[in-house]
């Protein structure tokens, strides 16, 4: 799990009293020590066929609510937060973090996804955040669900002025992980652990919600 990848950062607790991601705080952060450097780079993964075709309209970091839609997204709310760091442990501020995932019916917000289940119009499908001075980002989304051929996952793209990383986040303890062809392409056990995120009950953040920490390590710009 991510906490094994980054013990120097330590497991962090997302706290807050409101559903809004604006209320999310991430505490505390243990210092990166020389003994833990360099950090293990987060592995690159395929973008897949359903990268969003547009970022128009509501594309913020709350995927559970869509402007103009009366109903919130179906599924279990999951707060996913973390930091973008370089291999030296320094926070990467100002990075664009994009996520996209299927809705609770297993459908992507993408014209190429014509599978049978109706799309959940209450799910935003994709969202963007920009990392702060501490490299932090956060999203309010749903716990990813499986679709034919894939274990639950959330696609991530991290874009800085120097480089771009595309990867995927998986749910630690998910039984389908063992047979997932893309997750199994990650041969290095430390890198595999780095993309497995434990989603734990976070009722104090939002009743019935889950929360997890996904720190992302990108190579330093040269
Ligand atoms: Fe996917």
Q: What is the mean pLDDT of residues 136-151?
A: 97
How many angstroms is it from 155 CA to the middle of ligand 1? 6
pTM comes to 0.86
How many angstroms is it from 114 CA to the middle of ligand 1? 14
- What's the pLDDT at 31? 55
How many angstroms is it from 112 CA to the middle of ligand 1? 12
How many angstroms is it from 154 CA to the middle of ligand 1? 7
How many angstroms is it from 8 CA to the middle of ligand 1? 30
Q: What is the mean pLDDT of the chain?
A: 87
Domains belonging to the chain, first-starting first, are: 2-218 (2.60.130.10)
Q: 149: burial class by Cβ within 10 Å (0-12, 13-18, 19+)?
A: exposed
Q: Residue 36: which pLDDT band, with cuts at 50, 70 and 90?
A: confident
How many angstroms is it from 117 CA to the middle of ligand 1? 16
The long-range contacts involving 166-169, CB below 8 angstroms and separated by at least 24 positions, are 166/44, 166/45, 166/46, 166/47, 167/42, 167/43, 167/44, 167/45, 167/195, 167/216, 168/45, 168/195, 169/80, 169/195, 169/197, 169/214
Q: Which residue has the higher pLDDT, 45 or 5?
A: 45
Q: What is the mean pLDDT of residues 103-126?
A: 96
How many angstroms is it from 120 CA to the middle of ligand 1? 16
Q: What is the mean pLDDT of residues 69-87?
A: 97
How many angstroms is it from 111 CA to the middle of ligand 1? 14
């Amino acid at each position: 799990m991510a906490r094994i990848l980054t013990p120097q950062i330590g497991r962090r607790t997302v706290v807050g009293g409101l559903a809004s991601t604006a209320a999310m705080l991430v505490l505390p952060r243990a210092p990166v020590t020389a003994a833990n450097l360099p950090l293990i780079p987060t592995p690159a993964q395929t973008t897949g066929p359903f990268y969003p075709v547009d970022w128009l309209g509501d594309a913020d970091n709350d995927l559970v609510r869509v402007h103009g839609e009366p109903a919130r997204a179906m599924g279990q709310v999951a707060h996913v937060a973390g930091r973008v760091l370089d291999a030296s442990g320094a926070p990467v501020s100002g990075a664009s973090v994009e996520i996209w995932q299927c809705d609770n019916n297993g459908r992507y917000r993408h014209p190429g996804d014509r599978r049978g289940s109706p799309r959940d119009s209450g799910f935003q499908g994709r969202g963007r955040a920009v990392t702060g001075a501490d490299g932090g980002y956060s999203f309010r989304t749903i716990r990813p669900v499986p679709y034919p051929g894939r274990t639950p996952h959330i696609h991530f793209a991290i874009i800085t002025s120097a480089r771009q990383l595309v990867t995927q986040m998986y749910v630690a303890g998910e039984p389908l992980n063992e047979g997932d062809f893309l997750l199994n392409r990650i041969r290095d056990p430390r890198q595999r652990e780095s993309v497995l995120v434990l989603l734990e009950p976070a009722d104090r953040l939002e009743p019935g919600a889950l929360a997890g920490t996904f720190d992302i390590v990108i190579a330093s710009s040269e």
